[in-house]
């Protein structure tokens, strides 16, 4: 294996494939041995095959710019990330625990609010939450579940442990790219799937269908499920269409649906109205129903909240689930797990400073050059300050923002994000930082993807993995090894 990794050096960072002695970790041995057997020309051929496959399959994402929306081919690295199956079993248990507690928390907030009365989370945190929906108070979704699809971002620090970086419970995206990454890799490295113990991921669409079907208010053999999209100009439209096609359900826009006088939702078809049982909505709360929320919205369905409250249609994720998709609430999740489940958290949070606490705010303001500062409800890597890579002017700007609205900001240490070998030139591997987004489904049962979407910061030294800001992706392998 000397050719590819002889000069590879991840420095002080935990590397996913290669240990500190320069040798492959157990789940990566077969992969690296095989890659080393390929000539430089053959490896380059495989990389070009991946690029051609992405073009052929039309795998793209949309970047919003001042000049307009730009469709880009999905950035992909052919070197998979490997994780040992026994390590993943612990992570999977931790993710199930976390989502169970989060759903108990959301349900409690819209009912008795015991967690506030018992002092687990301060009342003002919820009162000032942008995503708490008073319109949802008293609603009881099936199984007490509000966040049916969650994408939890995990990172490994220098100690090699997985930490939860954040939870995404509104309209989490990326699972289609996880599935497509596997399809591309099977074309590029087919030999390894014959010999290595790589756990499959292809059951996700059927698991998603079963999760949604279990929510149907009508007990019929095959409920009518639809995926509600904002339309072709949305950055995740590829995923909306992909998941609808994979599940064998209709992809609809708001104008394809209406709420009848019986408070049921119907889909317009050439055969007349057809009742809809479950809507997997990929539209933010404030745009799903102009009667209940933003009257200017043309994306949603008038009366949809009325139909949902009447129990005539299921919405996944439920409106109001985003109250737990708040980086301030995130800091309380370990306490919420202890409170609702009477268990110790399996997966730790990243250490988090809350700027609405006087002592923690003072520490943050004095150490902006060392910390990562994030607003409570932004996503996609926007609106944040990465202290060590920031200017004095940027730090001053964030100091003013924090002082003006301390509730809206948290800060975390700059993590030593783990790395993995990435093909950055012909026959050249270099470490690049990455994270992992597994997807957790919950309704009647709970399911966790085998691995998840690995996002890679393709720029050397960068910690920003988001595709909208230059990040890429690679396949994630959960690999059984001897002794598992």
| Confidence band of 380 (pLDDT split at 50, 70, 90) | low
Q: Which residues, at least 6 apart from 362, have a Cβ–Cβ distance to it below 8 Å?
A: none
The three-class DSSP label of residue 296 is coil
Q: Which residues, at least 6 apart from 22, have a Cβ–Cβ distance to it below 8 Å?
A: 5, 8
Can you say whether the dihedral through the CA atoms of 410, 355, 405, 147 is positive or negative? positive
Average pLDDT, the chain: 92
Tokens 């008293």 correspond to what residue?
138
Q: Indicate whether 68 pLDDT > 60.
A: no
Cβ(470)–Cβ(462) below 8 Å: yes
Instruction: Give the rounded distance of the alpha carbon of 296 from its chain centre.
Output: 29
Q: Indicate whether 64 pLDDT > 60.
A: no
The per-residue DSSP string of 255-293 comes to GGEEE-TTS-EEE--TTS-EE--EEEE-S-GGGS-TTTS
Q: Where are the alpha helices (DSSP H) in 58-109?
A: 85-109
Pairing of strands 439-442, 428-437: unpaired
Stretch (H or E) spanning 482? none
- CA gyration radius for the chain? 23
The three-class DSSP label of residue 33 is helix
Pairing of strands 149-156, 439-442: antiparallel
Q: Indicate whether 390 pLDDT > 60.
A: yes
Mind listing the pLDDT tens digit for each residue in 25-38?
999 999 999 999 99
Q: What is the pTM of this model?
A: 0.93
Mind listing the pLDDT tens digit for each residue in 189-205?
999 998 768 999 999 99
Q: Check residue 61 and give its pLDDT.
A: 60
Q: Of 307 and 463, which is predicted with more confidence?
A: 307
Within a 10 A sphere around the Cβ of 113, how many other Cβ atoms? 14
Quote the tokens at residue 27: 């789940």
Q: Of 65 and 148, which is predicted with more confidence?
A: 148
CB burial readout 156-183, b (16+ within 10 A) else e:
bbeeeebbbbbbbbbbbbbbbbbbbbbe
Q: From CA 88, how far away is CA 484, in angstroms rounded? A: 11
Mean pLDDT of 289-299: 95
Q: Which of 4-13, 292-301, 337-346, 391-400 has the lowest mean pLDDT?
A: 4-13
Mean pLDDT of 197-215: 96
Pairing of strands 257-259, 265-267: antiparallel
Q: From CA 99, how far away is CA 154, in angstroms rounded? A: 14
Q: Which residues, at least 6 apart from 39, have a Cβ–Cβ distance to it below 8 Å?
A: none
Instruction: Give the rounded distance of the alpha carbon of 388 from its chain centre.
Output: 25
The per-residue DSSP string of 372-416 comes to EEEETT--TTTT-EEGGG--HHHHHHHHHHHHH-GGGEEEEE---
Mean pLDDT of 218-238: 93
């Amino acid at each position: 294996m000397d050719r590819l990794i002889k000069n590879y050096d991840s420095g002080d960072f935990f590397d996913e494939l290669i240990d500190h002695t320069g040798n492959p970790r157990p789940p990566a041995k077969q992969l690296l041995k095989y890659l080393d057997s390929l000539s430089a020309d053959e490896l380059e051929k495989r990389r070009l095959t991946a690029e051609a496959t992405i073009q052929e399959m039309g795998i793209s994402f949309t970047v919003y710019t001042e000049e307009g929306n730009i469709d880009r081919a999905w950035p992909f690295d052919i070197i998979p990330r490997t994780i040992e199956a026994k390590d993943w079993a612990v992570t999977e248990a931790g993710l199930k625990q976390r989502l169970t507690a989060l759903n108990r928390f959301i349900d409690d907030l819209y009912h008795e609010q015991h967690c506030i009365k018992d002092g687990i989370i301060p009342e003002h945190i919820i009162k000032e939450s942008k995503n708490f929906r008073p319109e949802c108070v008293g609603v009881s979704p099936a199984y007490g579940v509000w966040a049916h699809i969650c994408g939890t971002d995990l990172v490994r620090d220098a100690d090699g442990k997985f930490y939860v970086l954040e939870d995404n419970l509104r309209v989490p995206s990326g699972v289609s790219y996880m599935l497509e990454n596997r399809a591309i890799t099977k074309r590029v490295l087919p030999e390894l799937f014959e010999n290595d113990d790589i756990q499959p991921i292809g059951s996700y669409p059927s698991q998603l269908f079963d999760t949604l079907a279990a929510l149907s208010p009508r007990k019929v053999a095959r409920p009518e499920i639809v995926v509600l999209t904002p339309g072709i100009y949305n950055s995740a439209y590829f995923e909306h269409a992909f998941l609808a096609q994979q599940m064998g359900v209709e992809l609809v826009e708001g104008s394809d649906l209406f709420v009848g006088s019986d408070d049921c939702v119907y889909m317009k078809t050439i055969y007349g109205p057809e009742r809809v049982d479950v809507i997997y909505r990929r539209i933010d709360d404030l745009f799903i129903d102009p009667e209940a929320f933003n009257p200017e919205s043309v994306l949603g369905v008038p009366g949809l909240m009325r139909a949902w409250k009447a129990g005539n249609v299921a919405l996944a994720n439920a409106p109001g689930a985003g109250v737990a998709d708040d980086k301030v609430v995130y800091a309380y999740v370990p306490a919420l797990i202890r409170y609702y489940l009477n268990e110790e958290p399996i997966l730790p949070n990243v250490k988090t400073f809350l700027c609405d606490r006087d002592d923690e705010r003072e520490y943050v303001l004095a150490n902006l050059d060392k910390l990562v500062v994030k607003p409570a409800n932004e996503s996609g890597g926007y609106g944040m300050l990465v202290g060590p890579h920031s200017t004095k002017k940027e730090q001053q700007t964030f100091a003013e923002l924090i002082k003006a609205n301390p509730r809206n900001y948290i800060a975390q240490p700059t993590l030593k994000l783990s790395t993995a070998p990435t093909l950055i030139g012909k026959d050249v591997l270099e470490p690049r930082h990455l994270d992992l987004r597994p997807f957790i489904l919950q309704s009647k049962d709970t399911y966790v993807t085998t691995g998840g979407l690995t996002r890679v910061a393709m720029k050397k030294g960068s910690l920003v993995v988001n595709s909208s800001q230059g990040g890429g992706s690679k396949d994630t392998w959960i690999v059984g090894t001897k002794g598992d």
